[in-house]
Amino acid sequence: METTINIGILGLGTVGTGVVHIIDQHQDKLSHQVGCNVKVKKVLVKQLDKERDISIGEERLTTCPDDVLNDPQIDVVLEVMGGIDDARNYMIQALENKKHVVTANKDLMAVYGSDLLQLAAHHQCDLFYEASVAGGVPILRSLADGLASDRITKMMGIVNGTTNYILTKMSQEGRDYEEVLCEAQELGYAESDPTADVEGIDAARKTAILGTLGFSMPVHLDDVTFSGISQVTTDDLDYCDQLGYTMKLIGLAERTDNKVEVSVQPTLFPHSHPLASVNDEFNAVYVYGEAVGETMFYGPGAGKLPTATAVVSDLVEVVKNIRLGVNGNKAVAPQFEKLLKSADEIYAKYFLRLQANDKPGTFSALTSLFAQYEVSLEKILQLPVQGSDAAEIILTTHKVSKMNYEQILHKLEGLEVVNLIKSSYRVEGDEEA
């Protein structure tokens, strides 16, 4: 029986250094949990002489991928280098060499996850990816193990810490988007190019992974409709607050019968909803199960040690499987065919903000249009626009199909009394009247 499990690591950036730190410093706990020693044998880096904030012997560093991927003594490969093409090729090579793989790579798993899982199963290897969604929040393991006997009907959550930090500061401090984005970049919460975060792409990747696992259905990134927060203004947030709502960028995966909706968009929640109180860089995922009801998973969504903890937790499971001789048995092919809801099958409430003529007949024209599509209004707020004969009208609807709502928006643009549609957001978490 193995007395030492050797680890190869691809990448020594923020997460990689955290992984090495945990493995090196927690040897007593790791060996107690898995019944053997766990050792980092080789780490792939771009530069050998780069200054790092971790003490690691030069003999463990290499710039040659084959030193990790083709070393017969290395049992498990941890991929924390990021990117897609190189990482995918390295993971394929590792699996074909019968090495188990743990990854934190959401981009890769959102695009090629199904293919890689099939390859891992073919070679009787483990492929775990807990750290790819919500950092240190154990949502994937909870779906795969803790809720394995339940039928998940809906998952929605804050899965991007950058956008949550920005929206928190805009809401609570009344600061503009650009100002808070710059602050987030200075603090390291946002990249120099924040597009993937603020436009919802990062959250869409994670939501695709949640949908695949939670619904046992091959959901891909292309199946996710998404929008970001770059157009959100402090006025939007003020009006949301006046109507009793807090805005979050939400990844949503919902199943009705055998059809699913998978989306990412700015979404409003009542102040009393648990997701409304998740602030700053924290993540949270709300899960609905037919048996368990409602549960929420909350914690740090990124960062060196939280993400590294998720990677090492996967590593522990791999090593336990090695000791038991049961590797490669956990990956289960999707059970259901992917069926996406059409626009007339997606129902939600909406927040709408528009500028209209402040004169008799305006409200009648608006309500007549909504009545034409059998949509009733739940809340209405009207405020005069200083120095003009226009008014800001803010309203929320009862549930309406996405198709009908889009048609209403289109007709509002051509309505004579409407000057401008300023913003529109989905509303979740309300009890339907």
The per-residue pLDDT for range 162-185, each reduced to its tens digit, is: 999 999 999 999 999 999 999 999
In what helix (H) or strand (E) does residue 41 lie, and over which residues does it extend?
Answer: strand 37-44
Mean pLDDT of 78-97: 96
Mean pLDDT of 84-99: 96
- Token match 């809801």: residue? 341
What does the pLDDT read at residue 190? Answer: 84
CA–CA gap between residue 276 and residue 298 (Å, rounded): 12
| In the predicted structure, residue 331 carries a pLDDT above the cut 80 | no
Reference 247, options 147, 168, 148, 132; nearest CA is: 168
Mean pLDDT of 204-225: 92
| In the predicted structure, residue 332 carries a pLDDT above the cut 80 | no
182: how many CB neighbours lie within 10 A of its CB? 13
Domain 139-300 sits in CATH at 3.30.360.10
3-state secondary structure of 422: strand
412: how many CB neighbours lie within 10 A of its CB? 20
Mean pLDDT of 119-140: 89
For residue 144, what is the DSSP state? Answer: I
- CATH number for domain 4-135+304-324, candidates 3.40.50.720, 3.90.1150.10, 3.40.50.2300, 3.40.50.1820: 3.40.50.720
Mean pLDDT of 225-229: 97
- Mean pLDDT in the chain? 92
Which tokens hold the place of 25?
């410093």
CA–CA gap between residue 37 and residue 297 (Å, rounded): 31
Q: Which ranges constitute the DSSP H helices of 128-176?
A: 139-141, 161-173
**Residue extents of the structural domains in the chain:** 4-135+304-324, 139-300, 346-427
Catalytic residues: 206
| In the predicted structure, residue 1 carries a pLDDT above the cut 50 | no
The predicted-structure confidence for 270-313, as pLDDT tens digits, reads as follows: 999 999 999 998 999 999 999 999 999 998 877 778 888 999 99
Domain 346-427 sits in CATH at 3.30.70.260
The predicted-structure confidence for 248-274, as pLDDT tens digits, reads as follows: 999 999 999 889 999 999 999 999 999
